[in-house]
Chain A
Amino acid sequence: MAKAHRREWAFVLAATVRVTRDLDVAEESVQEAYVAALTVWARDGVPDRPGAWLTTAARRVALNAMQRDRTFRAKLPLLIEPDAEEPPEACFGAEDDAIPDDRLRLVFVCCHPALSREAQVALTLRLVCGVATPDVAHAFLVSAPTMAARITRAKRKIAAAGIPYAVPGPNERPERLDAVLTVVHLLATTGHAAPSGGELAREDLADRALGLARTLHALLPDEREAAGLLALLLVHRARRATRTDDDGRLLRLEDQDRSAWDRAAIAEADRLIVTALRAGPAGRFTLQAAIAAVHAQAPSHGETDWPQILALYDALLRVWSSPVVALNRAVAVAAVDGPAAGLVEVEALERDGRLAGYRYLPSTKADLLGRLGRHAEAAEAYREALALSDNEAERAFLAARAEGLPD
């Protein structure tokens, strides 16, 4: 039942927004429908088409709410739908077969650039993934009321400012899709480990993100970057079991047990990447996925195809001039041309200044200095990295590396 719940949420909500043209009313109606389902399905079993059942129920709740409210709705404007094909009332007659898939509109609205990144992430988790607000709050280490307020503000902004409830046209599509993919990627890579018991754990968040990436790829089969993101998240997932050791300490790529990687997930990622690369110029998600895949394909760390990785980083930097990408490229340079060459790149980035306060800059520098035998400077750089780190597992890792340097 929980599975049906998760899978159908976005579909049901989007189908309900179609008739309410109000995110709040739709959300409440869907929530009620899900609660009703708990009782009815427990008694009668899960229906063949849970999505259709839930949608019908939610729309019924919505219709009643809208009729009751007609007199005193001093509320925000209804969602603006450019090129709306049919009046909302017509949707009430259509049952199962005619329920259109509106999930894309929902996703694009939640990730609109007029909303802050924080708001995009919170709204996507709540409205597209259907995660309960307290769980969203926990994932981002804020209180439930704070997160509820953040989500309410975002919904208000959408209605009041007139953010159109629409899939962007071809001109805006690349930029808007990039925003959506960025949000999904953030969901997969952020989140904090929950203690236990019903709260959203980091793995659960990553699962939701992967599910959403799959949905996006299915709904946008011609968008190469959506395929690229899915591939990237699949490779992340494939290596999940080996990221930390039994004591929760972070393991470097070279120390991870590759036999424990999910080869099926990596193979699926490969297929997606190859198809995307063949279909046209590679975007940043496809390239990131390709880099992760090249790493994953090496039977051992020593057999990693670093020249291939460096070439991919060169391409990535051309489409995405991020200093973080440049730093990761410096690691590849060191692998291909030696630590001294890598250090030249890192020092250039230090002078550039955009990575000030980014802990991986001193930690990368420390690693390279260590390999060059410049141990005192390496120790200093590890100290700098430690001072910038706020994560237990990471700090332990850095401290251990600093300890391991000869005096």
Chain B
Amino acid sequence: MPQYAVLLYERVPPQDLPQEVMDGHLSMPDRVAAQGGRIVAGLGLHDSATATSIRGDLLTDGPFIETKEELGGVFVLEARDLDHAIALAKLTPIVDGGVEVRPLAGFQIVEES
């Protein structure tokens, strides 16, 4: 099945998300599987204030692009097609923001040798 990245954008920083929302994130793999998809991997990011950006030699404190809604996490999803991926991505609990669904050109976990 095709794979997609789902990027989560939230105005509320991750440390301030209410418990129901956290529970919703934790239950995503099961809820996605119940609808015929699969969460392959997930990345939970610390809030964007903890980010460091690098442009050439210049280091900046903060995310690469400042946005009202912060990039809070990314997960990899397997779905039959875009319509299916969208339906699954909509299961993500979001307080104030949204998600981006982007097809993966590739996905690889590099094993330690």
Q: Which residues of A contact B (CB under 8 A)?
A: 77, 80, 82, 114, 160-164, 172
Contact = CB atoms under 8 A, between A and B. Distances in A.
B97 interface: no
Contacts of B102: 161
Contacts of B82: 114, 161-164
28 contacts: A77-B2, A80-B2, A80-B80, A80-B81, A82-B80, A82-B81, A114-B82, A114-B86, A160-B103, A161-B82, A161-B101, A161-B102, A161-B103, A162-B2, A162-B4, A162-B79, A162-B81, A162-B82, A162-B85, A162-B103, A163-B81, A163-B82, A163-B83, A164-B80, A164-B81, A164-B82, A164-B83, A172-B83
Interface in B57-113: 79-83, 85-86, 101-103
A393 to B, nearest CB: 42
Contacts of B79: 162
Contacts of B80: 80, 82, 164
A160 B81 CA distance: 10
B34 to A, nearest CB: 17
B20 to A, nearest CB: 27
Given A114-B86, A164-B83, 10 more contacts: A77-B2, A80-B2, A114-B82, A161-B82, A162-B4, A162-B79, A163-B81, A163-B83, A164-B82, A172-B83
Contacts of B83: 163-164, 172
A81 to B, nearest CB: 9
Contacts of B81: 80, 82, 162-164
A287 B105 CA distance: 45
Contacts of A82: 80-81
Nearest to A164: B81
B51 to A, nearest CB: 28
Contacts of A114: 82, 86
A3 B86 CA distance: 40
Interface in B10-41: none
B82 to A, nearest CB: 5
A114 B81 CA distance: 12
A82 B36 CA distance: 14
Closest 6 interchain pairs by CB?
A164-B81, A80-B81, A162-B82, A162-B81, A162-B2, A161-B82
A197 to B, nearest CB: 41
A134 to B, nearest CB: 30
Contacts of B103: 160-162
A164 B85 CA distance: 11
B12 to A, nearest CB: 27
A336 B42 CA distance: 61
Contacts of B85: 162
Contacts of A172: 83
Contacts of A162: 2, 4, 79, 81-82, 85, 103
Contacts of B86: 114
Q: Which of B82, B83, B85 has the most CB of A within 10 A?
A: B83
Contacts of B2: 77, 80, 162
A82 B86 CA distance: 15
A173 B11 CA distance: 33
Nearest to A176: B83
A394 B103 CA distance: 45
A163 B85 CA distance: 10
A299 to B, nearest CB: 49
A163 B83 CA distance: 7
Contacts of A161: 82, 101-103
A261 B64 CA distance: 61
B9 to A, nearest CB: 18
Contacts of A77: 2
Nearest to A114: B82
Contacts of A164: 80-83
Nearest to B80: A82
A357 to B, nearest CB: 25
A162 B83 CA distance: 8
A164 B103 CA distance: 13
A160 B4 CA distance: 10
A374 B4 CA distance: 61
